[in-house]
Each structure stands twice: as structure tokens, then as C-alpha cells.
Amino acid sequence: MDPLKVLLVTYSFPPAGGVGVLRAASFARYFPAEGIRLEVLTARNASTVGADPALLREIPSEVTIHRTVTLDLPFGFKKGIKKLINGKRATAGKAGELALGKPNLFKRALADLLLPDPQVTWLPVLKRVARRIIRDRAIDLVLITVPPFSCLLMVEDLRRRFPELPIVVDFRDEWLATAFDLFLFSHSRRARRVAQRIEAGAIGNATTVVAVTEGQRQQIRARYPRQSEDKFILIPNGFEPGRLQHNVSPARRCGRIVASYVGTVYTLTNPTDLVEALLQLPPEVKSQFLLRFIGHIEEPRFRSALLQLGDMVELKGFMPHREALALMNETDYVLLINHDRQNVGGKFYDYIGSGKPILGAVDPRGDARQLIEELRVGWWADIHDIGAVRNLFLDASARGKPPFPDFKPDTAKIAQYERGALAKRYAALLHSIAASARENEPARRPAERVGKGS
């Protein structure tokens, strides 16, 4: 059987680093063994938190990578403009809602130049090169992973030019209910209308829509009740088992209980409530803990809050993925902070694969809390309940050093989140979509394609 020819469109790809790269990198690593000939279309100069060349060395040689230039702004410069535009910085309130500053007319005009996001400047080159690859390489299926959400503008364009081509949209983050207020430059009414129009057009013209959590899948699906239920699929993120050690007796150079946080600290992982709870611990308990933060800290106020903990905290900054996991392996607990109901950070899956128990300060209504309980991978408290978070650490202090008799993770369920197994499942989905398209191609009529208003 001939391999399935798939074009993967992803803004960030190794050697770019960061959690957002890992899903696309796992597609490229595993799809060739599943009967897929993969062509990757990505930005040569993507704006990311750092570089991780080791990830590129894991990509099989049979994967073809097409790199194009984008006019997108550098990562730090974009953050500075976003801060200028939004004025008062976004904060997560006690109920998890976001309070946003109201930019003036000039700032709104500046923000609206780059709708729906700054990466829209990549779109002219992206569409032109994608069309050429689809024709020259006889592509069977296109897989577009977002964010950046401006890539969704490709879907309608490709549908017009290739009416029978299967197009899969892969949402790493839910957009309109969550990411719109967190990551975009503009929160104006116009910006929201543009976002709604773009998403509706993409969903209507996509063959299949994939989300990474059940909460995200339901949220997106609910906005389009006229679409069929089987159009919306859940395939979560995962972890690489070969990179994680399941030791429960880490080296204790400092002699303290070490809890490691891996990933970016940003609005939805705002550590302020956690810091307040830790500062209320008795001095003899505080002295038992070392909190290690490995990753980019997005705003100075988050860094300032963490530094209030004094010698309880160690800020390591961004590290390549393997180095971050190596440090995580030398820990007693992994620390999860999440104000969000819809999204589960990619770090969660590395956490469950590490065999380390989670100390989670999370939204009790969210998928993260549900997964902690379902997989039996640790203990959690309501992120908005300072007393509960304080008690979470008092219990950890009383528990002492590992091994912990009451920590009994469900290893069979956890194994379902190994990236190799998830890639096999994803590849089977793509093969099925392409086979269905081939079967239905002669009978398909233009009227069956869905427009923006569906």
C-alpha cells in the first residue's frame, strides 16, 4: 500500500523549543512508521521562548521540512507591545475570570492591524507555498495545528482551491473562550468578531476538528450545533516514556522536599495564590521545601511574587526539554498550577509519565483535576482557596520522604498517554479520513461544503 501523503502545517517546529513544539514534533517522529509520508511546512524564524536543537535530531530523515520566512515580530518584542496595548495587565481573579485593561484608541488601532494575531504576516507566503506543495507532492490530506490561530485562514482558501482535499484542524488550545483573552494583542469587539468569523469558516470547511482535552472538544463543538458530532475528535497530548525515570528516591543534595514546576509561568499559571498559601506555612514547614521553577516566566510580577518565597524557591529559566526532564527526575513532587477549566498544559503529561506525584493547585471544575483523580497521580487543592493550598503542603510535609504508600497511580491508564500510542491512534484517524474521502469523492457535490455561517 502506498503511504498516505500528509502536509503538516505548524508555525513552530524544531529546532524551536517550548511546550508548543512538542505535539508537531511527535507527529513527525512517529507518523512515518504508521504509513504516512510527512511534509512539514513551518516558519524558518518562528518567534518562540528558546531553541532546542536536540528535538530536531529525533525527526526521521524521511520527513521533508519546508521552511519559509515570516515577518512576525521577535518573542520579547511582541510581549512588550502586548503589555503596552493592554495597559493594565491581565490577571486571573478568584473565580478564574480575566480582568483586562482597556487600551486607548491609538492602542486599539495598533492592535487591530495584526488580527487575529501577529503571525498573520506569515499567511501570504504560507498559502502560496502550501498550494505548491499540495500540487507538486500530490498531498492526500492537510493537517493544520494551531495556535497561531491566523493559520485557520488557510482552511477556506484551501477548500476553494482543492474542494475534495481532506483538511484536519488540530486545536492545541481552545480559542474563543480562553486563548482570545490571554494571548491576543486586541480584545476589542472587532477583534472578537474577526476571531468568530475565522473560526466559523475554518470549522465549517474542515473535514475533522481535533482537540486535546474533552473540555476543549465540547466547548468548540457547542458553538457549531449544526455540525455532526463525529466531526469533533479528542486526541490528547502525551509524554515520551524513554525520557523519564521512575525513581522515587532522588538525590538529596539540599536535604529538602523538592517540588518542580516545568513550563512557562503565565496568566493561567499565575503563582500568586500559591505564594500566598506558602507564606502562611509555619517556619519549620517552609524550611522543609524547595520549589524549583524550570521555564520562562512571562511577566515580572510573577517573578516578583515567587521571589517573596526567599530560599524556598529556585528559578531555573528556560531549558531544552531533555534538560528540564532530567531536573524533574531529581525531585520528590511535580508542581501543577492551573486556573483554567478548559486547558490542560502539556507539562501535565510529562508529569504523569515521570512517575512523580503531583501537587496540584487547580480549578476544581477543570479537566486537570478530573485527570489527577482518574489517573490517581497525586493530590490537588482548589487554586482559589488559599487555606486548601496551604493544607496541601502541610499534608506533603507530614507525608515526609518517598516512597509514599498512598501514591498508587493507574499505570494502565497512564500508558494510554504515551506519544507513540497516541501517534498511532492519530495516524489511524488520518488514514480513515483519507480513505473515506477517496470513497466519497465521485458523489461529493459543491453544495455539501459548509460556509461561514454554520
Higher pLDDT pick, 104 / 218: 218
User: How many structural domains is the chain composed of?
Assistant: 2
Let me know whether 25 and 171 are in one domain.
yes
- Answer yes or no: is 196 within a domain: yes
How many alpha carbons fall within 13 Å on the CB side of residue 194?
19
Residue 454 banded pLDDT, cuts 50, 70, 90: very low
Q: Which three cell numbers stand for residue 336?
A: 501543577
pLDDT in tens, 34-83: 999 999 999 998 888 789 999 999 999 999 999 998 876 555 544 554 55
- Answer yes or no: is 453 within a domain: no
8 A C-beta contact, residue 74 and residue 45: no
The whole-number pLDDT of residue 180 equals 79
Residue 108 has pLDDT above 50, yes or no: yes
User: How many CB atoms are located within 10 Å of the residue 255 CB?
Assistant: 9
pTM, full prediction: 0.86
Q: What's the average model confidence in pLDDT over 201-219? A: 96
The whole-number pLDDT of residue 163 equals 97
Residue 109 has pLDDT above 90, yes or no: no
Phi and psi torsions of 194, nearest 5°: -65, -45
Residues sharing a CB contact under 8 Å with residue 19, sequence separation 6 or more, in sequence order: 263, 264, 345, 346, 347
The least confident of 238-242, 258-262, 282-286 is 238-242
Let me know whether 225 and 374 are in one domain.
no
Residue 440 banded pLDDT, cuts 50, 70, 90: confident
- Answer yes or no: is 365 within a domain: yes
Q: In what order do the strands lie in the sheet with 358-362?
A: 313-317, 289-294, 257-262, 333-338, 358-362, 378-382
- Answer yes or no: is 454 within a domain: no
Residue 137 has pLDDT above 60, yes or no: yes
Q: What percent of the chain has pLDDT over 90?
A: 70
pLDDT in tens, 258-282: 999 999 998 889 999 999 999 999 9
Q: Which three cell numbers stand for residue 237?
A: 497530548
Provide the strand spans (E) within 161-230: 167-171, 208-211
CA dihedral (117, 119, 122, 128) positive or negative: negative
What range defines the domain where residue 87 resides?
4-238+419-448
- Answer yes or no: is 327 within a domain: yes
Residues sharing a CB contact under 8 Å with residue 217, sequence separation 6 or more, in sequence order: 211, 232, 233, 234
Let me know whether 263 and 376 are in one domain.
yes
Q: What's the average model confidence in pLDDT over 292-319? A: 95
Residue 252 has pLDDT above 90, yes or no: no
Let me know whether 205 and 329 are in one domain.
no
Let me know whether 369 and 433 are in one domain.
no
Residue 93 banded pLDDT, cuts 50, 70, 90: very low
Let me know whether 264 and 178 are in one domain.
no
Name the average pLDDT for the chain.
Answer: 88
Let me know whether 230 and 278 are in one domain.
no
Let me know whether 266 and 194 are in one domain.
no
The whole-number pLDDT of residue 146 equals 97
The whole-number pLDDT of residue 184 equals 58
- Answer yes or no: is 113 within a domain: yes
The whole-number pLDDT of residue 329 equals 84
8 A C-beta contact, residue 290 and residue 366: no
| Rounded Cα distance, 207 and 205, in Å | 7
Query: For position 290, which CATH number holds?
Result: 3.40.50.2000
Residue 248 has pLDDT above 50, yes or no: no
The whole-number pLDDT of residue 105 equals 59
Residue 19 banded pLDDT, cuts 50, 70, 90: confident
User: How many CB atoms are located within 10 Å of the residue 390 CB?
Assistant: 20
The least confident of 103-107, 142-146, 344-348 is 103-107
The whole-number pLDDT of residue 89 equals 45
The whole-number pLDDT of residue 29 equals 97
Let me know whether 311 and 229 are in one domain.
no
The least confident of 141-150, 319-328, 347-356 is 319-328
pLDDT in tens, 404-435: 999 999 999 999 999 999 999 999 999 999 99
Residue 182 has pLDDT above 70, yes or no: no
